[in-house]
Chain A
Amino acid sequence: MDPECSRLLPALCAVLADPRQPVADDTCLEKLLDWFTTVTAAGSSLLLLQENPCLVELLFRVLKSQDLSSRILSFSLRLAGIFAAQEDCFQYLQQGELLPMLFGEVGPLGGAAWTAPAVRSGWIQGLRTLAQHPSALRFLAACGAVDTIFSLQGDSSLFVASAAGQLLVHILDLAMRGPARGRCSPQACDWPACAQKIVCHIEDSLCSIATPQVTQALNVLTTVFGHCRGLWTQGLWVRLSPLVARLLEKDPVPASHSLVDLLLSVARSSVPSSDRGLWETLAQTLSHLSPTQAGPLALGILKLQDCPQALRTQAFGILLQPLACVLEAAAQAPGPPGLLGGAAGDPMTADTLLCSKSACVGLLCCALTHLGLLQPLPQRPSPWPQAPLLGAAVTVLRLCSGSVAPTSDVGGRLCAILVGCGRVQRAALDFLGALSQGAGPQESVTQVFSVLLEYLMSPESSSMVLKKAFQATLRWLLSSPKTPGCCDLDPRTQLFLRELLPVLQKRLCSPCWEVRDSGLEFLTQMTRHCGGQAGFRQALLASEVPELTKQLLQDPESYVRASAVTATGQLSSWALLAAPASPERPGAQQKSLLVELLHVLCADSEGFPRRAVMQVFTEWLRDGHADVAEDPERFVARVLQAASRDPDWEVRAQGLELALVFLGQLLGPRGSHCPCAVALPETAPPGTLAQALPEAAPPGTLAQALQVLCRVQLFEFAFRALFDCDRPVAQKSCDLLLFLRAKAAPCGSPQEAGDSPNVASVEATLQRWQAGEQGQPLGYLEPGAVMAVLRSIDLEGLRDTLAESSDHVEKSPQSLLQDMLAAVGVLGENEADCY
């Protein structure tokens, strides 16, 4: 331990044990415990206690004090646990009878302090930390702690109850981990007494008629099978599985959620390899639970890597049931075999669907979500009933919009329940989107597009539903097949697009900003992926969407403006903003967009649109956007000038990103030997440039490049950023300058310009900037001077400093101790740092 900390520790212990000086801040105590954990992990706890007797003294004083706060008591219990985790230290504390006094019946356990949940929690956590060695087990047995833990499982505080369960698991694991315990027999006559006791308690609880007790036992077992890897778990399952199976005989099945968790936990453990009976229990459980309860179990089973096909079929059937019922109820006439191969829907599922709105909505949402989660998994059931699932999703959506007219009574009631239900609409649209990954028969896809269009058009669709509808539409459009022989959209998709764009146009005029925003996001994504396809270009240019998008740059809502910036940037990248009416002035429209975006960057009062502009500009530069390519130097100079003044650090950081792209283009990307003035679009992620040392550029081109960089005032921007008050900006700038310095290594020697007055003044300015006076500009810099300055700055040192978290000074244990003492006035005022 740091000698300074050792010096402060006695005073702190005195403060902690003094009830007249309450410690106001709980987080200090937590930090103190963290520190002690670190200290004891690094060295001997025994030595620590011997060198700092004040610590043991603190524990004794805490025990004696009557009116100490519960949080100090809790802290002391946890602290003692940390020390006693090492066996020699445990013995040391035992000699002083300190541990029984803290954790035994004579301690807080019997006192008034026990009523505070914090004390009970501290007691459990102390024991949890302490229980690391055989001596601890004996101690637990001797002081009767296990019985107390049993009772704490039903504690009124959920935190305490949960921690008690976990402690039991930990003790059981510790007891069973002893040598030669690997192959315990199910009879368990040779199990340690402590483990026997816990297992018997679990058995009793499983047989209890009180559901909370059953839940506790199931939760403990779930943790056991989830965390303990020993072979003994297999024996435990053999012993307990009959009791678990007996739960299924009750109606209703008690603690069904916990039972499902347990069974899945067991199924994921090593048990199935030894006990095939587990699959049978799972199958029984699936058939006993209600449709709502069985859903999560079915999903869990289907996610298992290795499980019998019959069980998977059963589980999949459960997930499909609700949708099968919907399909059956909405069917106009007996159609082709549906989801369940023609079998009728389960009457129990149908009953659940019809019994109340909340049950119906809950069951359908779960089924849709579960199937959506299953869809992309490699182990999803095969064959995957893509077509009936598409039909079911479309039917659910139509029932929700009231646009389907079921003839059956059940269908009518379902329609009445579901119509206008936003939750089901959202879940169904998500599911429909997920289904886009698979193909479907022609007529199903036509139905999908028609229902999506219906939702996008409907004035009844809420903004969230519309967002989901846009997302699903995007996924279907992107997954739609391309016309054979060329990369254009197929005729059906084109037809859909032509119907979609007027709808998008209307949505972009919505009075609800969320809708405008979703519309713009959709447009951006669509353009990003299909901007080069003739069909899409044709349809888009024939619509008013590009013009409307541009108008939204003036939207009153900043999020919409930001999305409009991204969308127009994307449209412009694909030359989709150009007005077709003025062929004699190609690019005129786009130029004005550049000016407009620059205006947003300089004048917008909100950060989001400005950040979006920087991203668009970076992308334009990287991709060689026509406007930028005309005069990249001027473009970069203007953007960097605007970004350097920006109050938003993300804009400044994005400015450095743009500068890096520019550097890459000037000096050549990493590994390239032939940099040219304006390189082809850069593909390597710029952020990685600084990490790997770039290869040096030939001196001739380098000098020209440095001239360019000086002209665009990139150095002024980067140097300012180096001393930015926001660490990410400074870090990025540091990386950029390191990259530049490495690239420019052969460019002259330090003697060339190192002594010029220019360098001295630059260095003086930089020092002032570092001190916080950033008013003075650097002025025009010569490349030689820049390189000299670059060499003179300790960039590596700066990078290391920046890599430390900003509060590394304040986080030191010494600072923590000082703060705690200062808070109670033991130290002089104002000596503590604020954090």
Chain B
Amino acid sequence: MKLYCLSGHPTLPCNVLKFKSTTVMLDCGLDMTSTLNFLPLPLVQSPRLSNLPGWSLKDGNAFLDKELKECSGHVFVDSVPEFCLPETELIDLSTVDVILISNYHCMMALPYITEHTGFTGTVYATEPTVQIGRLLMEELVNFIERVPKAQSASLWKNKDIQRLLPSPLKDAVEVSTWRRCYTMQEVNSALSKIQLVGYSQKIELFGAVQVTPLSSGYALGSSNWIIQSHYEKVSYVSGSSLLTTHPQPMDQASLKNSDVLILTGLTQIPTANPDGMVGEFCSNLALTVRNGGNVLVPCYPSGVIYDLLECLYQYIDSAGLSSIPFYFISPVANSSLEFSQIFAEWLCHNKQTKVYLPEPPFPHAELIQTNKLKHYPSIHGDFSNDFRQPCVVFTGHPSLRFGDVVHFMELWGKSSLNTVIFTEPDFSYLEALAPYQPLAMKCIYCPIDTRLNFIQVSKLLKEVQPLHVVCPEQYTQPPPAQSHRMDLMIDCQPPAMSYRRAEVLALPFKRRYEKIEIMPELADSLVPMEIKPGVSLATVSAVLHTKDNKHVLQPPPRPAQPTGGKKRKRASDDIPDCKVLKPLLSGSIPVDQFVQTLEKHGFSDIKVEDTAKGHIVLLQEAETLIQIEEDSTHIICDNDEMLRVRLRDLVLKFLQKF
């Protein structure tokens, strides 16, 4: 069993598991932090961005000034943003049989894999994952395609040139594999390969393994996966949460008794408690708005935003913010808000019960009804008519490199009354802000990451007790910035096996058993013999038939019936291919009694030596050795067949035959 690790990002995993005869890809995450190296794509012409000076080498050489621009001491690529794909060279991706998706954030690289690698298999995911994943992809494509960029920079990627660049461009990895965003056509084609599954549904893969999605409690439709055969069980835990937010709670019990537990997608901010962060978010929002400032919340169109809107629903009246408009701007805002209300079966119990009242499960419906929350596909159109300040705007993209957020950063960045509150943990907020410097607006970092923290992991592992834990290397040591925090790493016994990008891991267990079925008629013919109470043995002569990873013992073929003319046939022709079976022996030889028997039969001068594996009985006169071991007995005598047979018969007296 092997694990091929194609992504180095612990929360955007992409691994391939070879298990029995199947090749299973676990998640398909897309690392978008590469876009932080690019200049933002402004929706409205930005003189500031277009007038940024080109970057030149220390010696004044300016051959890169078209591709690289400088802003407040940082250098950015002036080109269409590109993404860092999972490793494609480590394994032939056309051999992947299935792809299992655990949540909508972990499927963003899917079009790159399904459309460009020769992949012919099936993708499995739950319905909300697919629908919301589609929204995220659609938003991404829309954000990038609606700001066409003539230029595509590639010169800087040259290894010799990259070395000369300042950090972080100099240290960017695998830049040659960075790719531009996929198209909507590719998205549709990729999504068409997905087969929908429900929690606890058992899916057979070629009869060899069974895969089952389990609720992971992190997002709508998010799943962990069990991959098991009759005798082996691998659990894949990715992006799970034990907090009570909107999704169905995590199913922990089904993860028990795993041989291997692959653990990815833990919280990216283990020191920040989501409750505290939500409090921080609300307080800062209220303070800004009370002072007449605007609040910008860069966010994804689904996920934490539902919980934030729910908190605000409860908070705005108490904070006296009832008259403040909340805007949600995204090409998929409407679909996201509506989808969230229809996936009742994927929601937590409280929200499910609301559906039967009937009430919308999320209170943002009421915010929309009362006009407190308004949503728009983009800043163009209706929004510009309705826009009122001070206000709160939720919009993407959290990287601040594309999407409507770029416009608001340009619009509000100059005033210290305004605040940008970062709630998504995927991007470093300082790096995200770099191309907007100098910035007067206040920046608040309230990352809300509801995924498991290390205390919860420790409890989970105690509860489910896997034999082995496999995780990204980042989880096996404290974060570099807090090297003293020994509590911020996985602590389990035996120590977790770690992996990094482009590494192949041999998983630490051997398959020892395989299930084989016996045909009823063959079973009927068996004659078991009890060799000790409760244990019976029988010899089986059969043909092993293997098809579709199922093994069946069938009765041996019967001899062909004599044809009409021949009436007599020799006995030896009956079963031509079968040799005469020797009886099987069982039991053990008690050395003392064996020696006594030898003496009774006239052997003298017997010596017994203990060896590591058993005993050697030495008949000195006869110059003969009898080696008695746990599973074999050898009689070694030179050229005296009579003696050997005599001794053999004495040995056999102690053993049972069948």
A415 and B273 in contact, given A510-B282, A511-B315, A544-B291 (Cβ under 8 angstroms): no
The interface on chain B, measured as residues whose beta carbon lies within 8 A of the other chain's beta carbons, has a size of 29
Q: Determine which residue in A407, A507, A510, A557 has the highest number of CB atoms from chain B within 10 A of its CB, and name it.
A: A510
**B355 contacts A by Cβ under 8 Å:** no
**CB pair A511 B276 closer than 8 Å:** no
**A405 contacts B by Cβ under 8 Å:** yes
**CB pair A459 B487 closer than 8 Å:** no
Residues from chain A with a CB closer than 8 A to the CB of B287 are: 505-506, 509, 544
A700 to B183 alpha-carbon distance, docked (Å): 98
**CB pair A556 B318 closer than 8 Å:** yes
**A281 contacts B by Cβ under 8 Å:** no
What is the minimal beta-carbon distance from B275 to any residue of chain A, in angstroms? 9
Mask of A373-413 contacts with B, CB within 8 angstroms, 1/0 = 00000000000000000000000000000101111000111
Find A510's partner among B279, B317, B483 (CB 8 Å cutoff): B279
A459 to B482 alpha-carbon distance, docked (Å): 18
**B347 contacts A by Cβ under 8 Å:** no
**CB pair B486 A415 closer than 8 Å:** yes
Residues from chain B with a CB closer than 8 A to the CB of A66 are: none
A419 and B485 in contact, given A505-B287, A506-B287 (Cβ under 8 angstroms): yes
Mask of A459-471 contacts with B, CB within 8 angstroms, 1/0 = 1110000000000
Mask of B474-491 contacts with A, CB within 8 angstroms, 1/0 = 000000001111110000
**A5 contacts B by Cβ under 8 Å:** no
Report the stretch among A361-369, A547-555, A583-591, A593-601 that lies at the interface: A547-555
**CB pair B282 A415 closer than 8 Å:** no
Residue of chain A at shortest CB distance from B487 = A416
**CB pair B317 A556 closer than 8 Å:** yes
Residues from chain B with a CB closer than 8 A to the CB of A557 are: 318
Interface of B is mostly: helix
Mask of B267-306 contacts with A, CB within 8 angstroms, 1/0 = 0000111001111101110110011000000000000000
Residue of chain B at shortest CB distance from A460 = B276
A551 to B320 alpha-carbon distance, docked (Å): 8
Find B484's partner among A405, A506, A513, A555 (CB 8 Å cutoff): A405
Residues from chain B with a CB closer than 8 A to the CB of A556 are: 317-318
Q: How many A-B residue pairs have CB under 8 A?
A: 75
**B502 contacts A by Cβ under 8 Å:** no
**A512 contacts B by Cβ under 8 Å:** yes
Q: Determine which residue in A420, A460, A507 has the highest number of CB atoms from chain B within 10 A of its CB, and name it.
A: A460
Residues from chain A with a CB closer than 8 A to the CB of B276 are: 458-461
Residue of chain B at shortest CB distance from A461 = B276
Residues from chain B with a CB closer than 8 A to the CB of A548 are: 290
A419 to B317 alpha-carbon distance, docked (Å): 35
**A515 contacts B by Cβ under 8 Å:** yes
**B151 contacts A by Cβ under 8 Å:** no
**B191 contacts A by Cβ under 8 Å:** no
**CB pair B273 A459 closer than 8 Å:** yes
**CB pair B282 A544 closer than 8 Å:** no
**CB pair A402 B271 closer than 8 Å:** yes
**B575 contacts A by Cβ under 8 Å:** no
Residues from chain A with a CB closer than 8 A to the CB of B290 are: 509, 544, 548, 551
**B446 contacts A by Cβ under 8 Å:** yes
**CB pair B283 A507 closer than 8 Å:** yes
CB within 8 Å of A: which B432-448 residues: 446
A419 to B446 alpha-carbon distance, docked (Å): 20
**CB pair A412 B484 closer than 8 Å:** yes
Find A509's partner among B283, B317, B446, B486 (CB 8 Å cutoff): B283
**CB pair A460 B484 closer than 8 Å:** no
**B635 contacts A by Cβ under 8 Å:** no
Residues from chain B with a CB closer than 8 A to the CB of A512 are: 279
Residues from chain B with a CB closer than 8 A to the CB of A510 are: 279, 282-283
A506 to B286 alpha-carbon distance, docked (Å): 9
Residues from chain B with a CB closer than 8 A to the CB of A407 are: 484
**CB pair B273 A460 closer than 8 Å:** yes
Residues from chain A with a CB closer than 8 A to the CB of B483 are: 405
Residues from chain B with a CB closer than 8 A to the CB of A459 are: 272-273, 276-277, 279-280, 446
Residues from chain B with a CB closer than 8 A to the CB of A460 are: 271-273, 276
**CB pair A415 B484 closer than 8 Å:** yes
Q: Determine which residue in B272, B315, B484 has the highest number of CB atoms from chain A within 10 A of its CB, and name it.
A: B484
Residues from chain A with a CB closer than 8 A to the CB of B319 are: 509, 511
Mask of B314-334 contacts with A, CB within 8 angstroms, 1/0 = 110111100000000000000
A545 to B282 alpha-carbon distance, docked (Å): 17
**CB pair A511 B484 closer than 8 Å:** no
A511 and B486 in contact, given A460-B273, A506-B284 (Cβ under 8 angstroms): no
Residues from chain A with a CB closer than 8 A to the CB of B320 are: 551, 554
Find A412's partner among B271, B315, B486 (CB 8 Å cutoff): B486
Find A506's partner among B277, B283, B482 (CB 8 Å cutoff): B283
Residues from chain B with a CB closer than 8 A to the CB of A416 are: 485-487
A551 to B319 alpha-carbon distance, docked (Å): 8
A461 to B276 alpha-carbon distance, docked (Å): 7
What is the minimal beta-carbon distance from B481 to any residue of chain A, in angstroms? 10
**CB pair B315 A415 closer than 8 Å:** no
**CB pair B487 A509 closer than 8 Å:** no
Residues from chain A with a CB closer than 8 A to the CB of B278 are: 511
Residue of chain A at shortest CB distance from B289 = A509
**CB pair B283 A511 closer than 8 Å:** yes
CB within 8 Å of B: which A477-520 residues: 505-507, 509-513, 515
**B165 contacts A by Cβ under 8 Å:** no
**CB pair B485 A402 closer than 8 Å:** yes
**B311 contacts A by Cβ under 8 Å:** yes
Residues from chain A with a CB closer than 8 A to the CB of B486 are: 412-413, 415-416
A287 to B371 alpha-carbon distance, docked (Å): 71
**CB pair A511 B487 closer than 8 Å:** no
A458 to B283 alpha-carbon distance, docked (Å): 13
**CB pair B286 A402 closer than 8 Å:** no
A602 to B484 alpha-carbon distance, docked (Å): 58
A407 to B286 alpha-carbon distance, docked (Å): 40
What is the minimal beta-carbon distance from B539 to any residue of chain A, in angstroms? 57
Residues from chain B with a CB closer than 8 A to the CB of A554 are: 320
Residue of chain A at shortest CB distance from B311 = A511
A404 to B483 alpha-carbon distance, docked (Å): 11
CB within 8 Å of B: which A542-575 residues: 544, 548, 551, 554-557
Residues from chain B with a CB closer than 8 A to the CB of A406 are: 484
A510 to B319 alpha-carbon distance, docked (Å): 9
Find B286's partner among A458, A509, A515 (CB 8 Å cutoff): A509
A555 to B316 alpha-carbon distance, docked (Å): 11
Residues from chain A with a CB closer than 8 A to the CB of B487 are: 415-417, 419
Q: Determine which residue in A460, A507, A509 has the highest number of CB atoms from chain B within 10 A of its CB, and name it.
A: A509
Q: Determine which residue in A416, A515, A544, A548 has the highest number of CB atoms from chain B within 10 A of its CB, and name it.
A: A416
What is the minimal beta-carbon distance from B267 to any residue of chain A, in angstroms? 14
**CB pair A515 B279 closer than 8 Å:** yes
**CB pair A415 B485 closer than 8 Å:** yes
Residues from chain B with a CB closer than 8 A to the CB of A513 are: 318
What is the minimal beta-carbon distance from B313 to any residue of chain A, in angstroms? 11
Q: Determine which residue in A420, A511, A512 has the highest number of CB atoms from chain B within 10 A of its CB, and name it.
A: A511
Residues from chain A with a CB closer than 8 A to the CB of B318 are: 511, 513, 555-557
Residue of chain A at shortest CB distance from B288 = A509
A276 to B85 alpha-carbon distance, docked (Å): 81
A412 to B314 alpha-carbon distance, docked (Å): 40
Residues from chain A with a CB closer than 8 A to the CB of B291 are: 544
A402 to B291 alpha-carbon distance, docked (Å): 33
A404 to B484 alpha-carbon distance, docked (Å): 8
Residues from chain B with a CB closer than 8 A to the CB of A507 are: 283
Chain B residues engaging chain A, CB cutoff 8 angstroms = 271-273, 276-280, 282-284, 286-287, 290-291, 311, 314-315, 317-320, 446, 482-487
Q: List 13 A-B contacts (CB under 8 A).
A: A402-B485, A412-B484, A415-B485, A415-B486, A420-B273, A459-B273, A461-B276, A509-B319, A511-B279, A511-B311, A511-B314, A511-B315, A555-B318
User: 6 shortest A-B CB distances, which residue pairs?
Assistant: A459-B276, A416-B487, A405-B484, A509-B286, A459-B280, A509-B283
Excluding A415-B485, A417-B487, A460-B271, 4 further A-B contacts by CB distance (< 8 Å) are A411-B484, A511-B279, A548-B290, A551-B320
